[in-house]
């Protein structure tokens, strides 16, 4: 029996340029999670999970991520995964490009 182990590689959230999510609100934050790296698998690509969040402001005026507006999975193929290297901004920029989003300045 083959046994697979799933490891979360990282989770990162960044601010993005506003995106209108119909019937839900305005997305201002993007989070990507590298869901799995399957130990013992012959596949070297990974699965990512992304989310877009609204913004909320506390009583003191501090902005932070609010409710989740939309989400999905985004597979990264072997070639793209091999190009990742040690710079985690690579996967963030890749996902933003795949989804047609832009990081906030």
- Residues 47, 38: Cα–Cα separation, whole Å: 10
Q: What is the CA radius of gyration of the chain?
A: 16
| φ, ψ of residue 28 in degrees (nearest 5) | -130, -10
Rounded to two decimals, the pTM is 0.81
Residue with tokens 């402001």: 57
| DSSP code per residue over 85-101 | TT-THHHHHHHHHHHT-
Q: What is the pLDDT of residues 2-38, one digit of tens each?
A: 555 555 567 889 999 999 999 999 999 999 998 765 5
- Residues 80, 93: Cα–Cα separation, whole Å: 12
């Amino acid at each position: 029996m083959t046994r697979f182990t799933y490891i979360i590689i990282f989770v990162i959230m960044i601010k993005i340029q506003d995106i209108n999510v119909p019937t839900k609100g305005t997305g201002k934050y993007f989070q990507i999670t590298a869901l799995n790296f399957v130990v013992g698998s012959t596949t070297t690509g990974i699965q990512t999970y992304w989310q877009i969040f609204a913004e909320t402001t506390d009583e003191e005026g501090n902005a932070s991520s609010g409710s989740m507006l939309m989400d999905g999975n985004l597979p990264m193929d072997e070639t793209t995964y091999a190009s990742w290297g040690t710079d985690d901004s690579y996967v963030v920029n890749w996902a933003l490009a795949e989804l047609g989003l832009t990081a906030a300045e």
